[in-house]
């Protein structure tokens, strides 16, 4: 859906009724969106805002699921390799630890941040915000958490790791017996949840919640 651009006579008091495209700086007049509708910039086609079809309660339930699944994906072994009766399995922490001890500390730090620290932070912060957003309130630390969530942006890479695990399995399959472990299923479920959350426009929380009067 395209928004009609406003005329030039808008004044600053009507700022709430305006949207500015972050990719081309075009000013748009805001239209109320129905569930599942997306507002796109008339000039460059960027998404201006998205109305999610999911309420805060549903999202909170999904975040709790994500937390459980994430814990399982991190703690459980991902795959087991067998060779001549010997078996080796690995969890995410084994991966990070071996990279650290094998002279690739840079990779170990990157993996620890993008596969563990940042995703976990994202889950906890979102959960905290949604817990309060259910009743239209702003959680303590709302401003800081919202800004941090925005900055975390593309630095969570669990979905890339899942694809990496698939490639590793295919490569290892040439020389070893490969057995999938519960961790890989947990990662599959996590990937589904990530896809759902990719379609959620979090900036709407700024409008949907109000500050509590002291």
Partner 1 sequence: MSAWPRAAELGLIGCHVCGQVCSMTGADDGALACPRCGSTLHRRKPAAYARCWALLLAAFLMYIPANILPIMRTASLGDIDDNTILSGVVELWVKGSPGLAVIVFCASIVVPMLKFLALGTLLISSRRGSNWARRQRTQLYRLVELIGYWSMLDVFVVALLTALVRFGYFSLVEPLPGVVFFGLTVVLTMFASMCFDPRLIWDGKEDSDD
Decide whether 93 or 124 has the Cβ nearer to partner 1: 93
3-class state of residue 82 by DSSP: strand
Decide whether 100 or 131 has the Cβ nearer to partner 1: 100
Biggest distance spanned by C-alpha atoms of the chain:
78
Decide whether 12 or 34 has the Cβ nearer to partner 1: 12
Decide whether 2 or 61 has the Cβ nearer to partner 1: 2
- Identify which range of 55-63, 133-141, 157-165, 186-194 contacts partner 1 by CB under 8 A: 157-165
Task: Report the site for partner 1 in 181-200 (rule: CB under 8 A).
Answer: none
Task: Report the site for partner 1 in 35-74 (rule: CB under 8 A).
Answer: 42-46, 49
- Does 180 help bind partner 1 (rule: CB under 8 A)? no
Binding mask 82-111 for partner 1 (x = CB under 8 A): -xx-x-xxx---xxxxxx--xxx-xxx-xx
- Does 34 help bind partner 1 (rule: CB under 8 A)? no
Smallest distance, Å, CB 206 to partner 1?
A: 5
Report CA-CA distances (Å) from 159 to 71, 119, 144: 15, 11, 26
End-to-end CA distance of the chain: 40
Tokens linked to 151:
């900055």
How many angstroms separate the CA atoms of 70 and 65, rounded? Answer: 8
Contact 14, 163 (CB under 8 A): no
Task: Report the site for partner 1 in 109-138 (rule: CB under 8 A).
Answer: 110-111, 114
- Identify which range of 21-29, 50-58, 120-128, 187-195 contacts partner 1 by CB under 8 A: 21-29
Decide whether 63 or 184 has the Cβ nearer to partner 1: 184
Decide whether 57 or 105 has the Cβ nearer to partner 1: 105
How many residues bind partner 1 (CB under 8 A)? The answer is 73
Tokens linked to 41:
């910039």
How many angstroms separate the CA atoms of 136 and 208, rounded? Answer: 6
For residue 201, the 8-state DSSP code is -
For residue 176, the 8-state DSSP code is S
For residue 100, give every residue at least 6 positions away whose Cβ sits within 8 Å of its Cβ, in sequence order, or none: 108
């Amino acid at each position: 859906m395209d928004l009609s651009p406003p005329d030039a006579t808008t004044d600053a008091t009507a700022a709430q009724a305006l949207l500015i495209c972050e990719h081309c700086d075009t000013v748009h007049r805001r239209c109320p969106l129905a569930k599942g509708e997306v507002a796109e910039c008339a000039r460059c086609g960027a998404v201006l805002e998205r109305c999610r079809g999911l309420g805060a309660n549903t999202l909170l339930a999904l975040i709790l699921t994500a937390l459980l699944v994430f814990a399982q994906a991190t703690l459980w072994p991902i795959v087991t390799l067998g060779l001549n009766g010997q078996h080796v399995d690995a969890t995410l922490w084994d991966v990070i630890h071996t990279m650290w001890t094998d002279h690739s500390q840079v990779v170990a730090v990157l993996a620890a941040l993008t596969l563990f620290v940042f995703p976990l932070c994202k889950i906890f912060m979102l959960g905290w915000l949604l817990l309060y957003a259910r009743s239209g309130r702003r959680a303590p630390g709302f401003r800081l958490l919202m800004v941090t969530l925005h900055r975390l942006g593309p630095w969570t890479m669990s979905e890339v790791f899942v694809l990496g695990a698939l490639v590793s399995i295919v490569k290892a399959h040439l020389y070893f017996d490969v057995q999938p472990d519960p961790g890989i299923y947990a990662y599959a479920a996590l990937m589904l949840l990530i896809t759902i959350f990719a379609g959620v426009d979090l900036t709407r929380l700024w409008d949907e919640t109000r500050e509590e009067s002291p």
